[in-house]
Structure 1
């Protein structure tokens, strides 16, 4: 599989992993390990048929900082794209899109909406968001009409009719009108009107005069957020897409929230869980990834209890309907898992820098670092991030430094991120 990587792509993977310890948006699959059992169940029990046939589901993904949450969500996105779903991977934070502000959560969804993409399209970022998606919908409409012996000068009116049909039954009339007018603007080659509609749909501002003149009478605010998310779901379903997979990646705990904000966040999550059991959310799967489930369940108010009851069941390959996906319960031993990941990263590194390293020495290096990382892992700090950063650091030292013995002392030095490494290199020339 790694043989399919180009030098440029491999270099991108190493740069991201080595600098931040986070997986790249594309390329993570070349060093995935240990997730197969969970991914197989999600694919077979949900993506292959259930969601496509009108089902819906909500899952909570629990993983420590650096414990693989983002890597898992990227893997779900890749699977969903393989089955032709639309996906919105949405990083959440207290500053940009806190879950107690559903209008900002909606904004994150539409700004990160992506159809199945090639690696280069994904890395470019140009095909991300509802604006790019609407342009793709318009292009598909034109292409389909062009095969039906419709005169070129009549295609525009047929596109407008299809746009109107796609918005039937949508709950939020302002959302429906903005979508229809955006497609019509493309048909009329009216860039200014298209951008005005996208400004509204992405909640980037409400121009009282311009939007009202277009018949859009109300901005997307907190009170309309759920209705607008449901409207997005209905529109995607009307367009005959297989469904929408929403992946929320919560980067922070809720410690900085006020009591009222926490209550609102819990109420929003509870309602989202309930929505996934209704027909309004047909063809939708939502995953909400958190570093610690306690901030969702360890309160005494009715809001905590209501949410706790909804997310208490645990997902695994024998209970796919369980809600909580606990990444620390994966069957693979952590040290074994890191050895698998590490050996794959070594192969990517060799491709990225066009070097060849002795297998026995790289395997020893990976093994020592895996052992050291597993001994250092504690609390809410995941072992995977510190391990991959240390491994890339050690491989750099190998490529650029002087020979030295690979031993436990060197592994400890590589894991101590604040220290300058004592340089070494493998006795193997570049090719």
Structure 2
């Protein structure tokens, strides 16, 4: 659990264990669990999460990732950056494959290896002859790649030849094949010829490969593929209008393809700041074809809760939720560093919540958790290390100082 405290101390989302400290998001999590059930039946959905900086978008995506993994989905969690501006589908495919993980595997290659191992084990129950076992495995591979082959034949051919190379112990071809499947554009032609492909995963081929990937994942007994795309507001920073429009058109295409079930068993979830959803010049409203698909025709956002819409708006947490969060963090901190959280922490927690509300200058009883969490962990660190010399007033003063250090 120390990884949780270390991440929170630095203002980051923990890599594991986010569900242990998640508060105030039960309706959203319940809705996404329903969406996962729907996707697990072979359907596809596109959803968007909107929220101010610090409201917990990345945190919610991490909770969804953990839930999806537990439900036997394969997950890829990616961030839009200069390396992935989203106007290049081939880079999207590359990032998705590079970040693939399942409940027990941490990479695309591990997922393939586990699948092939299960097929080999299955073949031993059907024959004791090694040559026959090999042929049985090849037949299983061909059958389970049948649907994926319809969208990207070379995707299927590469996996088939990966198996052949594994049998021969040809590690060069094994590594080159995986690299090519992951979108590497630098594989020499002479090696690509050895595993049966030509060219690379180009812009025109990328979405076909992504669809093949989703079908492959389902064919090897996972529930489906969940693709989490964070910091989507970065698209606004693409300077050239034509490239920015291409990025938005790619999102439109994904949304439309999900509605048409061109993707099978797939969830795309985009998270971005409020500006991404409202900026007429560079945000989603600047591309009418996408804006029309995802906007609320009733314009009811903020008036009524409706989690069935394409866009889910995250609000700040209530003071009651922040209190609950503070107690959870204190308990984990005490467990990790083996100290006792005294009853006195509760009135102190009430005071620090008041400071947080005042400094944030927020209205409506809603507060953003990120800065509070970072400052609160810092205060817990000091209390833990100075248990006999620090007074309540000093603690509150420290919290106020740490809050002021953050850029409100």
Change (3 A) 1:210 1:346: same
Contact 2:23–2:325 under 8 Å retained in 1: yes
1: CA distance between counterparts of 2:137 and 2:279?
49
Q: Look up the match of 2:205.
A: 224
The correspondence for 2:35, drawn from 35, 46, 49, is 46
1: CA distance between counterparts of 2:351 and 2:232?
30
2: CA distance between counterparts of 1:315 and 1:302?
16
Contact 2:277–2:285 under 8 Å retained in 1: no
Q: Look up the match of 2:196.
A: 215
Contact 2:49–2:314 under 8 Å retained in 1: yes
User: Within 5 A, what are the aligned runs for 1:354-369?
Assistant: 354-359=338-343, 361-369=344-352
**Structure 2: which 5+ residue stretches go unaligned?**
none
1:397 aligns with 2:382: yes
Structural RMSD (CA): 2.6
Q: Look up the match of 1:99.
A: 86
The correspondence for 1:268, drawn from 237, 240, 250, is 250
Change (3 A) 1:34 1:88: same
Change (3 A) 1:308 1:159: same
Which stretch shows the higher mean deviation, 55-64 or 209-218? 209-218
The correspondence for 1:24, drawn from 6, 9, 14, is 14
The correspondence for 1:304, drawn from 287, 292, 295, is 287
2: CA distance between counterparts of 1:172 and 1:218?
13
Contact 1:386–1:415 under 8 Å retained in 2: yes
Describe the SS at the equivalent of 2:221: coil
TM-score, scaled to structure 1: 0.83
Describe the SS at the equivalent of 2:132: helix
The correspondence for 1:337, drawn from 321, 333, 341, is 321
2: CA distance between counterparts of 1:269 and 1:253?
14
1: CA distance between counterparts of 2:49 and 2:210?
21
2: CA distance between counterparts of 1:75 and 1:221?
33
How much has 1:238 moved relative to structure 2?
2.6
Describe the SS at the equivalent of 2:117: helix
Q: Look up the match of 2:59.
A: 71
Q: Look up the match of 1:7.
A: none
The correspondence for 1:33, drawn from 2, 14, 23, is 23
Q: Number of residues paired by the alignment?
A: 391
Q: Look up the match of 2:75.
A: 87
Q: Look up the match of 1:422.
A: none
Q: Look up the match of 1:294.
A: 276
**Structure 1: which 5+ residue stretches go unaligned?**
1-9, 118-126, 420-431
How much has 1:149 moved relative to structure 2?
4.7
1:161 aligns with 2:139: yes
Contact 2:229–2:270 under 8 Å retained in 1: yes
